[in-house]
Amino acid sequence: MAQHKLSIRQRNVDNILLAAEQVFAEKGFAGTAMADIAEAAQLPRSNVHYYFSTKAELYQAVLFGLLDVWKQDALCFELYDDPRIVLSSYIRAKMNHSRTRPHGSKVWANEIIHGAPNLGAALDAPLYDWAKMKEAKIRQWIEAGRILPVEPSGLLYMIWASTQHYADFSHQVGLLNDHQPLSELQFERAVQTVTSVILRGIGLEP
């Protein structure tokens, strides 16, 4: 009985979160009405309010889910040691997410662009620690002479920006691709381009 109730809740919450991620990505926080999310989730407005009492609460729930996704993409930093393997895995993972789950990236970008007014310290600190670990790894590679000396943060930003561009700016990418979304083949070429420029850029052979 309690289990049944829970599963109803779980199903509705997941449904709402997914719909919210899409609508927030398309219209931004201020631009989306709770009614839009309810419609996308095929639920009455009040039902959404039952699970998330305010719009801000729902929005933050979406954001919290995203940091987990970013972290999963970077597991290769712990799994491997060779910079060639780590970075090419990381780039591919992030590009895959840009293709299969572009909405999340857009919501995140939106929030940061506006100065992260909804991202409390609850997310600042984890993000900071997580990024510093990655920078430390890059610094080790440099000190060991395994890659050319570059600013570790600058390298990370190039990877983030170049991969997330295919999600965040998908409209512009499509426009410049003769008003067509990238095909699988074109997307694979984009992965290759980012990978080869980054790797060669720090002195590795792709």
Looking at beta carbons only, is 47 or 72 nearer to DNA?
47
Residue 177's binding partner, choosing from DNA, a second copy, none, with beta-carbon cut-off 5 to 8 A by kind? a second copy
* Nearest distance, CB of residue 69 and a second copy, angstroms: 16
Looking at beta carbons only, is 54 or 172 nearer to DNA?
54
SS3 of the chain: CHHHHHHHHHHHHHHHHHHHHHHHHHHHHHHCCHHHHHHHCCCCHHHHHHHCCCHHHHHHHHHHHHHHHHHHHCCHHHHCCCHHHHHHHHHHHHHHHHHHCHHHHHHHHHHHHCCCCCCCHHHHHHHHHHHHHHHHHHHHHHHCCCCCCCCHHHHHHHHHHHHHHHHHCHHHHHHHCCCCCCCHHHHHHHHHHHHHHHHHHCCCCC
Single residue of 47, 177, 183, 193 touching DNA by CB under 7 A: 47
Single residue of 1, 17, 22, 53 touching DNA by CB under 7 A: 53
**Which parts of this chain interact with a second copy (CB under 8 A)?**
25-31, 106, 109-110, 112-116, 124, 127-128, 131-132, 148, 150-151, 153-155, 157-158, 160-162, 164-166, 168-169, 171-173, 175-177, 189-190, 192-194, 196-203
Residue 50's binding partner, choosing from a second copy, DNA, none, with beta-carbon cut-off 5 to 8 A by kind? DNA
Residues 12-31 within binding reach of DNA (CB under 7 A): 12
